[in-house]
Structure 1
Amino acid sequence: MSRPQPGFAAVDPPDRWAPTRGRIRPERLEAPLDSLPGVGPTLKKRLAKLGLECVGDLLDHRPRRYEPAAPEKRIADLFGDEEVLIEGQILRTSLRRGRGRLQILTAQVSDGSGQISATWFNQPWLQEKLKPGTHVRLRGAPNRFGFAVKSYDLNGGGATADFAPVYPASEEISAAKLRELVEAALPFVRDRPDPLPAGLKAEQGLPLRGDALAVIHQPRSLEEAEAGRQRLAFDELLVLQLALARRTSEREQQVAAPLPEPGELIDRYRAALPFELTEHQEAAIAELDADLARTTPMQRLLQGDVGSGKTVVALYALLRAVEAGRQGALMAPTETLAEQHFLTIEGICMELGVSCALVTGSVKSKIGGQADVVVGTHALIQKGFDFRDLAVAVVDEQHRFGVEQRAALVEGRAPHVL
């Protein structure tokens, strides 16, 4: 008999998810972690080091992987310390204190072949759930005290015993402790709002967001965990796409001055090059020309291997601005790279009668922002530096450099950006 799949938007959810239905109270996700059983000041500080400060953070702390299924054994056949699955009924429970603040919960479990004492540490709140007659599946290992429980499943609706999630942990907090805390936080999945319309979820075959969170923490199969992961990945990609769409919309509302057709300066630039442009360079230039003729600011990425001729194409874009009587700027992440770019283009700019300036933290040009082409570092976006009339901005992006700097460079202006 196959197990039920997570509830989908267009169908009634199976009974397993009934506890996650009800009045949504998103504010409960902001509850501090010390509101959960067993979280004191010390553990709270350790959790904060992992970026976990509230219940919602804990639910979003996703497993790194899942431990494979353990062999299922009868209690009478347990031997050694092999990790196994056992299944049976709770006969009775007891709770006692150990050394220090240690609390030990034991439950006598029977499967018809025998009995064993299952043990949980520092989870006293579980005693309420482990009532006599409760059906349990336990994953763990036998020891001289009984059976040390690693994960469990109560009446088919608790933490999985088949696929134990392994969480990103630290030296101060074990993966097992994180698993225990997530189990305590799971009732709050009902409070996670689901922003997707029901029709979209049904069309894409996506489970509810609360269900997705539940199954990545408590999968009964790896396929179920993957379904939950895909739903959460869908949400993340959707957020990125919405942000890009919003940025595109804002950019399209900006107005840039279109640049006239290439003229005599561009002809002289082509003639001054000691080589013929490649087919790919010509294709890139054709796309630049089309963009520069529009009133919507250009946003282009020029990508190529080292030595493929990107600088030649970038200088073409800068000279298009100069030919229109305006300015071009090239910003690089380091002074060394800015100097290399400057030395590369300065000679040809001088040959064409185009003024070129280098502006870095340690080099201040006399003509500065008045030059036709300005090459520099983040000094170009520092307070006190002003462009005469920036029309084309080229940003040499490397690693993390370029995104924020590009935004600062175009702030208050609407230049074409490469």
Structure 2
Amino acid sequence: MSKYGNLNFDEQWYNEPLRKYLEHKQNVDNVTDSRFYDIARTLVGNPERFDWECLEEFDKPSIEWEPWDEFVDWRDGMTLSDARAFKQQLEDAGLGSRSVEMALRIVQSFLKELLERDVIESNPVAYVCDEAEFNHREPDKIDRNVAEIGSYLRAIPNHQQRAMGVTFAKTGIRIGENMNIDLPFLNLDHDIYDEVLDQHDVTLVDEIADHPDTLYIPSEPTMGEVFRGEKRQLGNKRKRGTKIPIDGEMKKALLNWFAVRPETSYPHPLWVSPTGEPTRLGQNTPNMKLTNYWAEETGLVDDGDNGAFTPHWFRHFFTTNMKPGRGHHDDSIDPTLVKYIRGDVEDDIMEVYTHEWGDQVRQKYLDAIYHFGIYD
């Protein structure tokens, strides 16, 4: 210790270690909201225990288990039996190997911080992590052709889930970009949609106001940013906004959803929660329903929880089947156009497609995009 003593002493580490640690992760380590939620969920469980606004938007986990502070009376001393019992209850709850290790590593890091500050005398969770053999089975890669994905989408009776799946599959957009779509960024040339816009007093953004049957993905927002009056769970990762054509099949899927979609308030998200007040779907919903539950329910995969089939899988499906000489689809578009629609292109390519969008993007895309036969 220096002649000045312990300059890092903070009484909160001793009196309120959980609160202090979480504040440290958020303000000093500057972890993302998603990571902060994982840490808080593992250590204290109920987000309402501490008043952090960034936790309010996250979905309740589908598997219930006790957090560290509820399962172990760790303040009065911990044993290896405590740490092993905590690990066992995670496994008994049905968490996979990766999730179990993640939870243990979070607790290990928390206790390591306290150990270094002489708040506690041991870190048995670190010992359990070192002795454990985590069996991370890599998910089997799945390969499905256009007809198989069409059968899967056609078998989904839920109009919102089907339309969401069609949007992922036909565009290759990222999950955050899909979840962030608001009505002003969608132009459908149909009376049903015109009525929806009038009913909600929505004005289309300038980028697509004169482009019927077009989806606009802006470069904003970033994760945690307040965008159009709402703090977003996920971000759009595009450097520049992109206009994406909508073919007849995707249009019909969206219109079927709008026929039953409940009324919403500003900022009018496209995808909304199925129960309670209509609010934007959370980040976990597509994975839990579209690519877990419905994929298994319709027979597309045997186990919807093994991580092989996710919303991101559609991004690879789009890329593979739209590039020349790849996938199971005969037609294709130029690889640079694939990059343009995906949102991962250089500025010079973007300029060409932006100024010659009608001929260079829309028509070429419509001529080549695969057809699922959902409504045939």
**Higher relative contact order (Cα pairs below 8 Å, separated by 6+ residues):** 2
Q: Which has the higher strand share?
A: 1
- TM-score normalised by length of structure 1: 0.20
